[in-house]
């Protein structure tokens, strides 16, 4: 029962470094998405995908890049980390109208 697997759980980056947050789902869901959670701001959509090869921007896409080469995987890349990207990141997958299944979250600190 893997569901959505998100790695790593914790990460500390220096300003300017790049990294990739991994996300994989085994439920054959069409939709995958990345959110960031900041205190008092709820979950804000960064990028999303409606299928392999198709991605689009959400509410807060700047500084992030995504790709979806397979149905299962949807990595999130931080191109040049900034302190403003310190946050908790969640990957999710879903089908039309269905509930979103979330990964365990990644707590990222940029110093």
Q: Give, for 51, the enclosing helix (H) or strand (E).
A: strand 42-51
DSSP string across 6-50: EE-SEEEE-TT--EEEEEEESS--SEEEEEEEETTTEEEEEEEEE
1, with CB counted inside 10 A (0-12, 13-18, 19+), is: exposed
CB of 37 to other proteins, least distance (A): 9
2 binds other proteins (CB under 8 A): no
71 binds other proteins (CB under 8 A): no
Q: Among 5, 22, 58, 86, which residue sits at the site for other proteins (rule: CB under 8 A)? A: 58
Q: Among 41, 53, 79, 83, which residue sits at the site for other proteins (rule: CB under 8 A)? A: 41
Chain residues that interact with other proteins, rule: CB under 8 A: 31, 33, 35, 40-45, 48, 50, 54, 56, 58, 88, 90, 92, 94, 96-102, 104-105
């Amino acid at each position: 029962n893997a569901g959505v697997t998100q790695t790593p759980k914790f990460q500390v980056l220096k300003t300017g470094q790049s990294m990739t947050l991994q996300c994989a789902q085994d439920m054959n869901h069409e939709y995958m998405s990345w959110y960031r959670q900041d205190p008092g701001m709820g979950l804000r959509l960064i990028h999303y995908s409606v299928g392999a090869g198709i991605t689009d921007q959400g509410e807060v896409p700047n500084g992030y890049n995504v790709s979806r080469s397979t149905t299962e995987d949807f990595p999130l890349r931080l191109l040049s980390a900034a302190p403003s990207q310190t946050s908790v990141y969640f990957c999710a997958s879903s089908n039309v109208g269905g509930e979103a299944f979330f990964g365990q979250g990644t707590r990222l600190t940029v110093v």
